[in-house]
Chains A and B, each alone.
Chain A
Amino acid sequence: MLEIKNLHAGIDGKEILHGLDLHVGSGEVHAIMGPNGSGKSTLANVLAGRPRYHVTAGSVSYEGKDLLALPTEERAREGVFLAMQYPVEIPGVNNIYFLKAALNAVRKHHGEEELDAMEFLQLARQKMKLVELDEAFMNRAVNEGFSGGEKKRNEIFQMAVLDPKLAILDETDSGLDIDALRIVAGGVNALRSEKHSVLVITHYQRLLSYLVPDFVHVLANGRIVRSGGKELAEELEQKGYEWIEQEVAAGAR
């Protein structure tokens, strides 16, 4: 489903990823962990096509297509979703209107009929329950005045409505209390299936006990330096990243 090879990428002329390889199969949940500044968000943003991020070498193939050649909205319509680390506030753009426009753009892309206001509302209500978001939020401007936790739940709500094939969660768990964490994990678990893959970027084992990954990767200095099963996350939780960084440094010597 997703095949990243030797990816070199960065922001504003500075290279952050120095040759990253990653394979995500259909239906798999991968966790990416790593110290601050190691390039986790860079990877997520490059996959979503955020402006100012650029790729200097390597390739990303998504369902056999060259993902990097697609404009941002095409990637989204093809099923790539990024739950952002810092969702932006957009005053004046109504949440429910925005999401309906998004869903219909995706549906149109797949030759499906657009949903009318009533049909959409029905779907939205159902997904709102899933993330326990109050309906009042839906009539507000996108993320405007939302608390940190509400913004994150809104990301998961959007994900639930858009039903992406590849969901990338960039620290969606940060700053959430345990209840909110359970809700967010529940939202993602509801999406899990043979056809849905998830890339979870996180610092904490916490989320991973609700959202159990098939693979865990450690990203350090712009590369995947270690991969393993869910035990790796537990090990990282206990020992931190230093030992891995030391091992990598030793190996490189």
Chain B
Amino acid sequence: MNTATKPDTDVLQQIREQAGQRFEQLGWPTPRLEEWKYTNLQALQSRFDAGAFREAATPAASRSSASLPLRFGDRALGELVFVNGVFSPEASSLPSVAGLRVTTFRNASVDVLEEHFARYADYERHALVALNTANAQDGAVIEADAAIEGFVHVLFVGSDGFQSFPRNLIVAGRGSQLAVVESYAGTGAYFTNSVTEIVAEDGAVVDHYRLECESLEAFHVGTVQIHQGRSSSVSSRSFAVGGAVARNDTNAVLAAEGANLVLEGLFVTNGTQHIDNHTLIDHAVPHCESVELYKGILDGSSRGIFDGKIMVREGAQKTVSRQTNKNLLLSKTAVVDSKPTLEIFNDDVKCNHGSTIGQLEEEPLFYLRSRGIGQEEARNLLVYAFASELVDRIRIDAVREQIGRAMFQQMPGRLPDRRGEQR
């Protein structure tokens, strides 16, 4: 069992206290705020205030590691498992690979925390980041200073009645290469409030995958904050299917010339689910490029949101940026809001954005049916095809399979066994 205390050096303690105070000042976000106009956290807030969720002190002994979902086991270089926010050493395996340091937040060196903790995710402006920063229990601290083959998996599992505040820090040093998968799952009604900070130093290459596959009763508010150095290359891919109410923020600052960012997201909602995706790409300097594609598939009476802003600052000439959001509505009662925004403060840029909302197209549906495929199966095939564009871009086979399975399970109809047949 891990009995190390929280990394409470003076500096860190100071940050926590500041964040806590800031949360008190900001209060819970309400739909009156532009950034929260589609998502009402009232139900969460009242439960939270009433103390409906408790914090875990030890990983639930009842959960044998065999019953944990979404495990990669040997296929990952290392796997860190947190149950209700608490590290489970029995279920975890730490990698021993040259150039790669993986530890828990609690065991991380004070140096790395002092250098990076809360430097990027802005608790002054974002209440839920402040809440996490004040309460952050544990999480993964992953540092690379070489080109690492393979990937590290960080898994957070929640269970009924708990709240947790996962906090991750990913630092890819100069010229290094690193892939990290971050997943969230669980059972029952619980609250996850996570923050992941990703730093790609000069020339670093980072591939980040985030699978939000929380229980359908859970509340999830997660933030990914990316900070990019010169000529760094980052991809962050978000796959969201879980949660009664889920809010996923991914923000990136391209802080030095030549930085390159790929932001992608796929959200699949059904029943009465509500999944809100916000992204902010901040082009702060010249000669950076960002490409963003988000897709939503909405069924039942669910609601999905894509709100993505690209900010090109005054000095950021020669910025290239492309933002696309496509949504597929599978029922008459599902709703999607799409709000792509470009804010450009200089005219020497190449930027475009677009969004579509539509139903399944008649022509492909007819084509499939005209060959004997039933209406239902034809529909499913086309829905999978829509999602596959993003799933197929996952470069690591094991990750693509795992995430594909998690996503397709939530989709209507049965999962066609198509994976093995591609190439």
Tell me which residues across on chain B come within 8 A of A94, comparing CB atoms: 418, 421-422
- Size of the B side of the interface (Cβ < 8 Å), in residues, is 28
Task: Pick from B369, B385, B423: contact of A90, CB below 8 A.
Answer: B385
On whether the beta carbons of B384 and A92 are closer than 8 Å, the reply is yes
Q: Are A90 and B371 in contact (CB under 8 A)?
A: no
How far does the alpha carbon of A102 sit from the alpha carbon of B389 in the complex, in Å?
22
B385's nearest neighbour on chain A, judged by CB, is A92
Complex Cα gap A87–B368 (Å) = 11
CB of A43 to closest CB in B, whole Å: 15
> Is there contact, CB below 8 Å, between B369 and A72?
yes
Question: Is B49's beta carbon under 8 Å from chain A?
Answer: no
Closest to B422 in A: A94
Whether A72 contacts B385 by the Cβ 8 Å rule is no
Interface string of A93-123 (1 = CB under 8 A from B): 1101111111101100100000001000000
Partner of B416 from A81, A82, A101, A139 at Cβ < 8 Å: A101
Q: Which residues of B contact A52 (CB under 8 A)?
A: 362
Of B70-78, B148-156, B374-382, which binds chain A?
B374-382
Bound form: Cα–Cα A111–B327 in Å: 39
Convert B373-405 into 0s and 1s, putting 1 for each residue whose CB lies closer than 8 angstroms to a CB of A: 111011001101110110000000000000000
Beta-carbon contacts under 8 Å, B119-154 to A = none
User: CA of A158 to CA of B386 in the docked complex: distance in angstroms?
Assistant: 23
Kindly state whether residue A175 has any CB partner on chain B within 8 Å: no
CB-defined contacts of B384 to chain A, threshold 8 Å: 92-93
Chain A residues with CB under 8 A of B423 = 139
If A96-B421, A97-B416, A101-B377 touch, whether A90 touches B370 (CB-CB below 8 Å) is: no
- Which residues of chain A have C-beta atoms less than 8 A from B375's C-beta? 71, 73
Is B345's beta carbon under 8 Å from chain A? no
Chain B residues with CB below 8 A from A109, complex form = 372
> A49 vs B420: C-alpha distance in the bound complex, in angstroms?
33
* Complex contact A76–B385 (CB within 8 A): no
Bound-state CA distance A106–B368 (Å) is: 12
Q: Please indicate the chain B residues that have their CB under 8 angstroms from the CB of A48 in the complex.
A: 370
CB–CB A93/B385 < 8 A: yes
Contact B368 A50 (CB under 8 A): no
Q: When A92-B388, A94-B421 are in contact, do A101 and B370 touch as well, CB less than 8 Å?
A: no
| Contact indicator B385/A97 (Cβ below 8 Å) | no
Q: How far is the CB of A19 from chain B (nearest CB, A)?
A: 26
| B interface secondary structure, majority | helix
Q: Decide: B368 and A90 in contact? CB cutoff 8 A.
A: yes
Q: How far is the CB of B367 from chain A (nearest CB, A)?
A: 5
A40-77 near B? 1/0 per residue, CB < 8 Å = 00000000111110000000000000000001110111
Shortest distance from the beta carbon of B423 to any chain A beta carbon, whole Å: 6
Within 8 A of B (CB), among A147-185: 158, 162
Check if A90 sits within 8 Å of B372, measured CB to CB. no
Q: Which of A77, A84, A100, A139 contacts B367 (CB 8 A)?
A: A84
Report the separation of the CA atoms of residues A98 and B418 in the bound assembly, to the nearest whole angstrom: 9
Determine the distance from Cα of A99 to Cα of B381 in the docked complex, in whole angstroms. Answer: 12
Q: With an 8 A cutoff between CB atoms, is B36 at the interface?
A: no
Is B48's CB within 8 Å of the partner chain A? no
Option from A51, A77, A84, A93 in Cβ contact (under 8 Å) with B372: A77
- Known contacts A91-B389, A139-B423; decide if A98 and B371 are in contact (CB<8 Å): yes
Contact A105 B373 (CB under 8 A): yes
Q: In the complex, which residues of chain A have a beta carbon less than 8 angstroms from the beta carbon of B389?
A: 91-92
Q: In whole Å, how far is A155's beta carbon from the nearest beta carbon of chain B?
A: 10
Residue of A nearest to B389 (CB): A92
Q: Is B363 part of the contact surface with A, judged by Cβ < 8 Å?
A: yes
Residue of B nearest to A99 (CB): B371
The complex places the Cα of A139 from the Cα of B421 at a distance, in Å, of: 8
Q: List 30 A-B contacts (CB under 8 A).
A: A51-B362, A72-B366, A73-B375, A73-B378, A76-B370, A77-B372, A81-B371, A82-B370, A87-B367, A88-B363, A90-B367, A90-B368, A90-B385, A91-B385, A91-B389, A92-B386, A92-B389, A93-B381, A93-B385, A97-B418, A97-B422, A98-B373, A101-B381, A102-B372, A117-B420, A139-B422, A139-B423, A142-B367, A158-B371, A162-B371
Interface pairs A-B: 6 shortest CB-CB: A92-B385, A102-B371, A76-B372, A72-B369, A105-B372, A73-B369
